[in-house]
Every structure is written in C-alpha cells, then in structure tokens.
C-alpha cells in the first residue's frame, strides 16, 4: 500500500539525537535539517530549514534529563513549526514519555501532569503519537488522537533467552509491576517472584517534627535460594528501589542477581550506586541517551531503533502496525 503523502521527513530535538540518526539509517533517509537555539534569556527557537508542505513528518524527541523542560518545549515548538509549515501529517515520536508517574490524583489538590502534557502535545499540532512502554498504560487514554504504545520488553526477553540459563527466576520489584513481570517470566520460561514493601503500623515512631512515621519492611514472595535472579522494571530513576531488591535477594540466598529495564532515567547519583551494587549486569535500551560517564562494563544497552524505524515506515505506508506486537515478529527485529 502506498502512502497518501508525497515524502517522509524525520526531524529530531536534542532529547536523543543519536537514536534519531539510527532510525534514519534504518530507513535510509536523511535526518531533517532543523535549527534549535536556546537564547540567553532561555527562550527556545526552532526553524525547519527545508520544506515540509504536504509531507509526512515525524518529530523524534525523548523527554530526557537534564533540562527536561527544555526537551518538552523543543518538542512542542517543533510540532508547531511543522503544523504552521503546512505539513501533511505530523507524528510525535516520544521514546520516553516524562511525567508518567503523575497519571492520577493520588492525594488532594495535585495535578495530573501526564494529562497536561498530552494536552499540550495535541495543542502544538501532533496528529498522532508513538511511544514506548508508558509507566502507566492509562496515559494512552489522555490523547484524543491516535496513540500507539510499543514495548521494548521483547528485546530484553530475547537477550535473556539467548543466555540459555537454567535455574532462573524473574523478580518484580513491586506488586504494581507484577502483571508485566509475570508476562516477562512466561516469555523466558521462568517462574516469578515478587518483592513486596509494606509499612508496619505498630512500629510507628515520631520524627523530629512530631509526626508519626511507619518503617517499611520488604518481603519476598517466592523462593530464590540458589537461583539466578533477573529483576525487571519499566524504568530505573534513582535506583533506590532496585538496590533494595538486590539486597533482599542476596539476603534470601540468590546465587546471582541481574536487572533490566526499558528506560535508563538514571537520575541523581543512580549510576554510581548501580556500579557499586551487587548487580552482575544491568541491561537497558537507548530510549534515553547515555553519556560515556553513565556507562560501565556491567551495563548493556540494546537499541530500539529497528522497531521504531519499522513502525514509522508502516505508519507512512498506511500499513497496520498490529502484527508488530506479535513475539514472532519482534524476534525478527535486529
């Protein structure tokens, strides 16, 4: 099936330019020429240096740190520039969607920032959105335009499956991730254990301000004695939760502990903490950029560029992306 648009154009913000270049290499198209400048007054300016009139435009931008607010504004400004330049269709490709944890009101008088961000992306001119492994699936419903959420879990599944290990168990770092953890465990043919954190009310004590606080105790549901443990999560931010689980697994008799995640947020001093932890290896993807200082011998990075390139090509050609969700098709993506 041919595209209803003349040509495809792919532009990139500064959120993950290396990934954008890999996608273009896969598609054998040049990366679109755009200028993005941040002035001394912190205003951001963007200009498309080529025509996009009636073109099928894809704007690739990971909402990454540092300078997260700049990355969001770059995305919005590029989308607006494409719309005002009479692009035939504008698709926002967001490998990592920020503010995914603020998907609901979990206390009084707080915003739902994930919804606010969705509203801004639509108002800026995006006609559809492509993203990977949202922290909360309900964010899909925040958009009133087509939204495709892909998963990079197949890359992690294939990586561990190719190890051919025996005596492996998958560990979910909390109860909330248990369903996705179970699916991951089934995909590699391993059992599932769950780390559960709970507050112990009867041990509550007053803090320095006179408020009562309850200590947290982490329990493990499942037997990990003598087993290779693979902790799986959608993202690692500060690394605190993962490292608590690592300590728990070591105390419970695990022989080796590994971890994997889709999004390497690596905020604050996460890299230093992870490097010094008892993890044998941490496997992640390139949905977010990593500097040389954020890499170490125990870190393995898999690329999502092949998956994104194929889906972009399918969207451009008017071909269904439904079949790409099958494990058989995922296995063919290099």
SS (H, E, C) 158-215: HHHHCCCCCCEEEEECCHHHHHHHHHHHHHHCCCEEEEEEEECHHHCEECCCCCEECC
Q: What is the pLDDT of residue 263?
A: 98
Q: Radius of gyration of the chain from Cα atoms?
A: 21
Q: What is the pLDDT of residue 2?
A: 62
Q: What is the pLDDT of residue 204?
A: 54
Q: What is the pLDDT of residue 211?
A: 58
The CATH architecture of the domain made up of 8-152+304-332 is 3-Layer(aba) Sandwich (3.40)
Q: What is the pLDDT of residue 306?
A: 97
Q: In the chain, where are the structural domains located?
A: 8-152+304-332, 154-302
Q: What is the pLDDT of residue 4?
A: 78
Give the pairing of strands 34-38 and 44-48. antiparallel
Q: What is the pLDDT of residue 217?
A: 67
Could you please state the CATH topology (level 3) that the domain comprising 154-302 is classified under: Rossmann fold (3.40.50)
Return the residue matching tokens 């932890």.
Answer: 277
- Segments of the chain with pLDDT less than 50: 327-328, 332, 334
* Residues known to be catalytic: 197
Model confidence, pTM = 0.92
**Which residues are within 8 A (CB) of 314 and not within 5 positions of it... i.e. 6 or more apart?**
320, 321, 324
Question: Token digits for 237?
Answer: 């931010």
Q: What is the pLDDT of residue 327?
A: 47
Say yes or no: do domains 8-152+304-332 and 154-302 share a fold.
yes
């Amino acid at each position: 099936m041919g595209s209803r648009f003349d040509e495809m154009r792919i532009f990139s913000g500064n959120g993950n330019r290396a990934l954008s270049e890999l996608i273009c290499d896969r598609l054998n198209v040049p990366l679109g020429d755009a200028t993005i400048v941040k002035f001394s007054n912190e205003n951001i300016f963007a200009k498309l240096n080529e025509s996009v009139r009636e073109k099928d435009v894809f704007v690739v931008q990971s909402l990454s740190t540092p300078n997260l607010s700049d990355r969001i504004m770059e995305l919005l400004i590029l989308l607006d520039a494409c719309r005002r330049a009479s692009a035939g269709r504008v698709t926002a490709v967001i490998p990592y969607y920020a503010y995914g944890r603020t998907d609901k009101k979990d206390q009084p008088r707080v915003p739902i920032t994930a919804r606010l961000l969705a509203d801004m992306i639509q108002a800026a001119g995006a006609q559809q959105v492509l993203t990977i492994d949202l922290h909360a699936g309900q964010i899909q419903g925040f958009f009133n335009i087509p939204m495709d959420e892909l998963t990079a879990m197949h890359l992690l599944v294939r990586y561990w499956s190719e190890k051919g290990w025996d005596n492996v168990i998958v560990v979910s770092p909390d109860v909330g991730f248990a369903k996705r953890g179970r699916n991951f465990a089934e995909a590699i043919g391993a059992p599932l254990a769950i780390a559960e954190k709970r507050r112990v009310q009867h041990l509550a004590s007053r803090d320095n301000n006179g408020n009562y606080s309850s200590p947290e105790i982490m329990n493990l549901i499942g037997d990990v004695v003598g087993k290779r443990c693979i902790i799986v999560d959608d993202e690692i931010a500060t690394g605190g939760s993962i490292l608590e689980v690592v300590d728990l697994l070591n105390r419970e008799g695990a022989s080796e502990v590994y971890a994997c995640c889709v999004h390497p947020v690596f905020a604050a001093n996460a890299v230093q903490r992870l490097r010094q932890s008892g993890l044998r290896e941490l496997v992640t993807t390139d949905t977010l950029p990593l500097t040389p200082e954020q890499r170490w011998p125990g870190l393995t990075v898999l690329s999502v560029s092949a998956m994104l390139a194929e889906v972009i090509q399918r969207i451009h050609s008017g071909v269904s992306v439904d079949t790409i969700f099958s494990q058989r098709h995922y296995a063919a993506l290099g």
